[in-house]
Amino acid sequence: MFEITFLLFFCVLAWSSNKGVALATLIASLILFPEYIRFDIFVMKMSIARIVALIIILKWWYKSRININFYDKSVVIYWVLYILMATLSGGDQTYLIYVIGRVMDTVLFYFVARVCLTDQDDFNKFFKFFAIVAISVSLLAIFESYLADSIYRHLRSANTWMWNDKLYEERLLGFVRAYGSTLNPIYWGMSMLLMFIILTSLSVIAKGKKSSVYLFITAAGVFSSLSSGPIMGLILFFILNKVGKSKRVFVNLLFLLLVAIFIIEVFSNRHFYDMAQYLTLNSATAWYRSKLIEVALKNYSIYIISGVGGVWPHHWGALIDGRAIVDVVNQYIVVALNGGLVLLVLYLYIFFKPVKDFVTTWQAGSSLFLEVNRLLVMGLLAIAVTGFTVAFYNPVENLIFLLLGILRQAAIVEKNIRRVEGEQC
């Protein structure tokens, strides 16, 4: 009964709100209520967030009148290609239904952000409500990490595909790894990292000094997971934000990074990704991630054409460290396993095209939305790096495609502002 109550609450709030608040409501439904609790609707399993996203699209799609370009189409093509590759690789009916359903976690979330943030006023309204959501879930996670208990603890048994009986793991000064509303501390940390990136980026258009308080609490929410991937992503976001304040410095940094990778690969007996072992909270898990990449590269023939059709290569576990079930903790390997090289290339295009566009058009100036764009791009790069150590499952994947939609709209709003300023001159 409580599921229906929450469903009605979020649906009514999303339908009755303006666009900015509706988008924040979508995130609230995704992160406050466990995404893994689903409703059976025909052959699909629908989360509350999926239903809320559909409601928002139905209300605002035609009213927003967004222009569709090739990048928008590529997001849709990614999902269509995903289905095609799943079919060609011999995926069973259960896997095909899962793949078809993912349109609501990727394409749908991307376009919800597109239709909800069409001008600066939408961004302002979204930020105010989104900040409240971010603070609320962060405080819940902080208390969970300290008390080793959570309001979501007894709900995890609703999920059937992942372990539910794993006890809290104490990792630092008596604090445990928070799960939040997810099934894994890594998923929670990555979700909070994405929320922190969005909050930080949009805080530059907010008025007052409360933003620093919001950001501090949300950063603590990231740390509550006590997971290396999210924490490394947070630190990298800070570094990119500081060193990437000008186009020249940013481009030079990328060049030096590529040179460093080349030198390590040519003159060292280790690969560049092995260096992650010196930056994580647990060197053993870092070693596993490095070995996973090596095994995946050596066994590319089983997935390079069209993926593995949902039949995971668990024999890789024996090749890595003798385990019976392989844990594919690398987003790029996951994409390749699901759809082969073609799907991976398209995925990389979707991820890095916004970065290329921003760097190409980057210009000096003090525009607020220019800074919003810069921060979103730096955050996207930080997320891309963590993809080498973390797989993006829900709700992380939902938030990533939502971030891509926000980035697209922020670039459009910034361009419109520059056009109006040019006409006034």
Question: How far, in Å, CA of 319 to CA of 401, rounded?
Answer: 33
The predicted structure's pLDDT at residue 214: 84
pTM (two decimals): 0.91
With cut-offs at 50, 70 and 90, classify the pLDDT of residue 194: very high
| Of the listed ranges 143-152, 198-207, 263-272, the one predicted with least confidence | 263-272
Q: What is the DSSP string of 245-258?
A: SSHHHHHHHHHHHH
Residue 260 sits at φ, ψ, to 5 deg, of -60, -40
- What is residue 167's DSSP assignment? P
The predicted structure's pLDDT at residue 170: 73
| Residue with tokens 């509350």, as numbered in its chain | 48
Asked if pLDDT for residue 417 goes beyond 80, the answer is no
Residue 131 sits at φ, ψ, to 5 deg, of -60, -40
Give the residue-averaged pLDDT of 136-150. 90
The predicted structure's pLDDT at residue 272: 59
Residue 164 sits at φ, ψ, to 5 deg, of -120, -15
Question: How far, in Å, CA of 55 to CA of 53, rounded?
Answer: 5
**What percent of the chain stands above pLDDT 70?**
89
Residue 399 sits at φ, ψ, to 5 deg, of -70, -30
| Identity at 336, one-letter amino acid code | A
Asked if pLDDT for residue 254 goes beyond 90, the answer is no
| Identity at 353, one-letter amino acid code | K
Q: 365, 341 in Cβ contact below 8 A?
A: no
Question: How far, in Å, CA of 118 to CA of 19, rounded?
Answer: 9
The tally of domains found in the chain comes to 1
Give the residue-averaged pLDDT of 313-321. 87
Which residue range(s) make up the domain with 275?
2-424
The predicted structure's pLDDT at residue 46: 84
State the CB neighbour count (10 A cutoff) for residue 41.
10
The predicted structure's pLDDT at residue 320: 85
263-to-35, 258, 260, 318, 386 alpha-carbon distances in Å: 43, 9, 5, 31, 22
Q: Where is pLDDT greater, at 26 or 226?
A: 26
Asked if pLDDT for residue 397 goes beyond 70, the answer is yes
pLDDT tens across 344-388, in order?
999 999 999 999 888 888 776 567 788 889 899 999 999 998 898
| Identity at 235, one-letter amino acid code | I
